[in-house]
Amino acid sequence: MQTNVILIGFMGTGKSAVGRFAAHRLGFQFLDTDALIVEREGMEISQIFALRGEEYFRDLETRVLESLTHYQRCVFSTGGGLVLREQNRALLRELGFVVLLTAREDVIFDRVTRTSKRPLLRTENPQDTIAHMLAERQPIYESAAQCIIDTSDLSRDAVGEAVIAKAREAFGW
């Protein structure tokens, strides 16, 4: 297994904030697949969805993952839908230790409604949308993960420490 840590999970589970913290503590580089896409396309995620559609965005996610296969000593945070493609799940397994961050539905709702940057949640009833998406995705997230951390009642730092502890165990450090 390559020495990278990959954070997967639904929107609002803290992947980016936790990833940045854990990378800093481990002395690893931090990379966020959404940020890489925005940088490469020169467009915000919501613009990509609006102008090119979701399938196009999913292709970009696969391309970004493929470009990361030679990286070592990184913490990657990934977009919430990246694991939906089997091809991407296979790429993640090669890339390193995959940690799933979860949170209760109400916690996710509170966290994501603080910003409006998620195109998939711009619906009439975001709470319902979250519930449906979570039900559909949870088994996929779990099948892609080597360990699961519930972030609902934990601070960013506490989740980061838990990620590091699990990674140390997995890598045998």
Q: Which chain residues interact with ligand S3P by CB under 6 A? A: 11, 15, 34, 45, 79-81, 118-120
**Of 124 and 173, which has the nearer Cβ to ligand S3P?**
124
Q: How far is the CB of 41 from ligand S3P (least distance, A)?
A: 12
Helices within 75-116 (DSSP H only): 86-95, 105-112
Instruction: Report whether 62 contacts 88 (CB < 8 A).
Output: yes
Q: How far is the CB of 172 from ligand S3P (least distance, A)?
A: 30
**Of 42 and 172, which has the nearer Cβ to ligand S3P?**
42
Q: How far is the CB of 143 from ligand S3P (least distance, A)?
A: 16
Please tell me what DSSP assigns to residue 142: H
Q: How far is the CB of 80 from ligand S3P (least distance, A)?
A: 3
Scored b (16 or more CB within 10 A) or e, 152-173 reads eebeeeebbbbbbebbeebeee
Strand boundaries in the chain, DSSP class E: 5-9, 29-32, 74-77, 97-102, 147-150
Instruction: Give the closest residue to 130 by CA, choosing from 154, 152, 156, 104.
Output: 104
**Of 17 and 171, which has the nearer Cβ to ligand S3P?**
17
**Of 61 and 162, which has the nearer Cβ to ligand S3P?**
61
Q: How far is the CB of 112 from ligand S3P (least distance, A)?
A: 7
Please tell me what DSSP assigns to residue 46: H
**Of 20 and 171, which has the nearer Cβ to ligand S3P?**
20
Distance CA 71, CA 97 (A): 13
